[in-house]
């Protein structure tokens, strides 16, 4: 039976820098018409001024509730048989909706997610680095992976209702949690490698470190609730990156033993370097970019470890 209608939902919070680029790409889709719902999550910048003139339905939240609450709000107002969620800092390829609908039409598929494109308009180091590391992590994911990525995520409306939507208690990791919940209830998620979108977000040094801390805190709190074996079975991080990340902890500990022996720190620095080698080669960037990446990955590993500790403590005290 043909799909009657599509509802595309875009949550936005202080998205002034990106929202026009996002909406222009939505307007240029090869598969139209469809309903576009923007949910403003209590923005404090001029985001609302930037969307004037676009044929969209605007919903406004006057208290910032986070991306999960904004997406659920849009879904409740949607009239489509299929819901498409995309973020305000995403640019779609002209055939993104058409490809997504083709993927969703396959038998037994209930949801489809996209991947990030190798291209990003941001030329600064931190934005380029984050885009490359996201792509590297997604490469090992199978098409049937038990994950969903809310930056571009397509799901049947009745399925979304049956699973209860996004978990509004989570400000990070809520899209991955939804995918896990779907699979546990017998639904099929697909990651379409041909479906790629451009991430427009610009990072700086501080925002990058903050994001890793917050995401790892939320991820660890969630995974600890599920149990250790759940974490092992659903960890999609490449082995090399995990080895490098863990070795950072031992490098830091080794600093305290330098007065007695410097060997441990050299051993763990070697392990860190070997774990990171494949990623650095895959970057295909200048030598200076590689050196910066080597250093910044160490920093984000430290922040990730701190985030994991914070998430565990927060769960314990909850």
* Per-residue model confidence (pLDDT) at position 5: 86
Q: Give the 3-state secondary structure percentages of the chain, helix then strand then coil, rounded to 5.
A: 50, 15, 35
Per-residue pLDDT of the chain (318 residues), as tens digits, is: 344 589 999 999 999 999 999 999 999 998 876 899 999 999 999 999 999 999 999 999 999 999 999 999 999 999 999 999 999 999 999 999 999 998 888 878 899 999 999 888 889 999 999 999 998 988 777 766 667 888 999 999 999 999 999 999 888 888 888 988 898 888 988 888 889 999 999 999 999 999 999 988 888 777 766 654 444 444 567 888 889 999 999 999 999 988 899 899 999 999 999 999 999 999 889 999 999 999 999 999 999 999 988 888 876 666
* Per-residue model confidence (pLDDT) at position 228: 44
User: Which stretches does DSSP call E strand in 136-200?
Assistant: 152-156, 189-199
What is the third-level CATH fold of 6-122+142-202? Spore Coat Polysaccharide Biosynthesis Protein SpsA; Chain A (3.90.550)
Within 7-144, residue ranges assigned H as helices are 19-27, 47-50, 67-77, 96-104, 125-139
**7, 33 contact by CB (below 8 A):** no
**41, 70 contact by CB (below 8 A):** yes
Name beta bridge partners: 59.
39
* Strand ranges of the sheet holding 35-41, from the earlier edge strand across to the other edge: 57-61, 35-41, 6-12, 82-86, 152-156, 111-116, 189-199, 90-91
CA–CA dist 134, 215 (Å, integer)? 13
User: Which stretches does DSSP call E strand in the chain?
Assistant: 6-12, 35-41, 57-61, 82-86, 90-91, 111-116, 152-156, 189-199
* Per-residue model confidence (pLDDT) at position 237: 74
3-state secondary structure 225-254: HHCHHHHHHCCCCCHHHHHHHHHHHHHHHH
CA–CA dist 115, 23 (Å, integer)? 19
> Domain residue spans in the chain?
6-122+142-202, 224-317
* Per-residue model confidence (pLDDT) at position 318: 60
**132, 212 contact by CB (below 8 A):** no
* Per-residue model confidence (pLDDT) at position 146: 67
User: 81-109 in b/e burial notation, b at 16+ Cβ within 10 A?
Assistant: ebbbbbbbbbbbbeebbebbbebbeeeeb
């Amino acid at each position: 039976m043909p799909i009657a209608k599509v509802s595309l939902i875009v949550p936005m919070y202080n998205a002034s820098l990106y929202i026009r680029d996002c909406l222009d790409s939505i307007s240029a889709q090869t598969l139209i018409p469809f309903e576009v719902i923007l949910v403003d999550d209590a923005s404090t910048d001029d985001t609302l001024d930037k969307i004037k003139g676009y044929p969209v339905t605007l919903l406004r939240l006057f208290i910032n509730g986070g991306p999960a609450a904004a997406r659920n709000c849009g879904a409740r107002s949607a009239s489509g048989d299929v819901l498409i969620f995309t973020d305000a800092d995403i640019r779609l390829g002209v055939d993104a909706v058409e490809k997504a609908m083709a993927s969703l039409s396959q038998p037994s598929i209930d949801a489809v997610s996209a991947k990030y494109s190798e291209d990003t308009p941001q030329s600064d180091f931190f934005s380029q680095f984050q885009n490359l590391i996201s792509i590297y992590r997604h490469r090992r994911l199978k098409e049937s992976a038990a994950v969903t990525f809310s930056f571009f995520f397509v799901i049947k409306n009745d399925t979304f209702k049956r699973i209860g939507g996004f978990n509004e208690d989570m400000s990070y990791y809520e899209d991955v949690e939804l995918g896990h919940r779907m699979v546990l209830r017998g639904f099929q998620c697909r990651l379409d490698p041909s479906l790629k979108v451009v991430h427009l977000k610009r990072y700086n040094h501080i925002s990058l470190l903050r994001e890793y801390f917050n995401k790892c805190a939320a991820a660890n709190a969630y995974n600890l609730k599920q149990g250790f074996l759940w974490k092992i079975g659903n960890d999609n991080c490449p082995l090399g990156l995990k080895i490098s990340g863990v070795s950072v902890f031992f490098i830091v500990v080794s600093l305290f033993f330098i007065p007695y022996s410097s060997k441990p720190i050299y051993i763990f620095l070697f392990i860190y370097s070997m774990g990171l080698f494949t990623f650095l080669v895959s970057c295909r960037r200048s030598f200076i970019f590689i050196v910066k990446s080597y250093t910044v990955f160490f920093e984000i590993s430290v922040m990730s470890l701190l985030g994991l500790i914070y998430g565990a403590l927060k769960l314990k005290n909850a």
